[in-house]
Amino acid sequence: MRLARRVLPPAILLLVLFGAWELYVDLGGVDRLVLPAPRDVARSLFEDRSLLLSNLLVTAKEVLLGGVLAVVLGFGLAVAIQFSRTLRAAVYPLLIGSQAVPVVVIAPVLLIWLGFGLAPKLVVIALVSFFPVVVTTLAGFAAVDQDLMKLMRTFDATRLRSFWHVELPATMPRVFTGAKIAVAVAVIGAVFAEWTGSSAGLGYLLNQSIPQLLPARAMASVAILCVFAIALFGLLSLAERVAVPWAYQPRGEISP
């Protein structure tokens, strides 16, 4: 019953949006080379399923590896900043400024340095995705109950022990929040990376379909990217419930 309440509203909304989209294309006189109808996209999903699947596997590999790299780097950097005020003052403003640098400026340089293989794509995805992990992790550290930290100092706990037993468990829900944002952004990063230099992947297929006057295939690629991002978000939400069950425990309830 709970699952139905969660699935039914977005499903109904999607049906309404698709219906409005179909009517707009049919009755609005829009050229289907500019905006294909949902039935055209559905037809492409079926007819081009082998091509779409093979390219999805390429993009999925890039997103998963790049997302893991982003989470590891983002979490590690946040921990380093938490332990060093000097590092926070030196690095944090540069991190904020780095998010204003367009990916299209960095990608060609990475291709020169790393070639046209997987490595430059992973770097682009990590650069695009790691910032949410850093920000949410630092926000989690800032929200740690300072009374607990004082209590740990009262018991002569070392800085590392206080971090391991108090700060890290309290911050893990925020880490997962950053990771869920990162995987969604990683999909966008993979598309950008494939646009710059690639011979496979949904981003590459999307980029090739537009000049070939295959807008339905391009929209089908976008649809698969959306579903893939939602699936990753859902898997991370499930992993969060398993890894940090206390984050979902009602306030005031004490575990046995």
| pLDDT one-digit tens code per residue, 14-70 | 888 888 888 888 887 777 778 888 899 999 999 998 999 999 999 999 999 999 999
Please state whether 213 falls in left (phi above 0), alpha (psi between -120 and 50) or beta: left
Higher pLDDT, 83 or 32: 83
Q: State how far the Cα of 205 lies from the Cα of 209, in Å rounded to an integer.
A: 6
pLDDT above 70: percentage of residues in the chain: 95
Q: State how far the Cα of 247 lies from the Cα of 79, in Å rounded to an integer.
A: 20
Beta-carbon contacts of residue 182 (< 8 Å; ≥ 6 apart)? 67, 70, 71, 74, 129, 130, 132, 133
Q: Is the pLDDT of residue 216 over 70?
A: yes
3-state secondary structure of 210: coil
Higher pLDDT, 51 or 253: 51
- Residue 201: burial class (beta carbons within 10 Å; 0-12, 13-18, 19+): buried
Q: State how far the Cα of 45 lies from the Cα of 219, in Å rounded to an integer.
A: 9
pLDDT at 255: 43
Answer positive or negative: Cα dihedral of 98, 101, 104, 107. negative
Please compute the mean of the pLDDT values over residues 174-200 and round it to a whole number.
87
Amino acid at 21: W
Q: What is the mean pLDDT of the chain?
A: 85
pLDDT at 178: 92
Domain range list for the chain: 37-245
Superfamily of 37-245 according to CATH: MetI-like (1.10.3720.10)
Q: Nearest Cα to 197, choosing from 123, 108, 119?
A: 108
Q: Is the pLDDT of residue 237 over 50?
A: yes
Mean pLDDT lowest among 29-33, 58-62, 192-196, 200-204: 29-33
pLDDT at 251: 52
Please compute the mean of the pLDDT values over residues 177-192 and round it to a whole number.
90
pLDDT at 95: 83
Please compute the mean of the pLDDT values over residues 125-137 and round it to a whole number.
90
Higher pLDDT, 240 or 26: 240
pLDDT at 57: 94
pLDDT at 249: 66
Please compute the mean of the pLDDT values over residues 170-199 and round it to a whole number.
87
DSSP per-residue string spanning 99-145: TTS-HHHHHHHHHHHH-SSHHHHHHHHHHHHHHHHHHHHHHHHHTS-
Please compute the mean of the pLDDT values over residues 220-244 and round it to a whole number.
91
pLDDT at 12: 87
Please compute the mean of the pLDDT values over residues 96-123 and round it to a whole number.
78
Q: Is the pLDDT of residue 252 over 50?
A: no
pLDDT at 3: 60
pLDDT at 227: 92
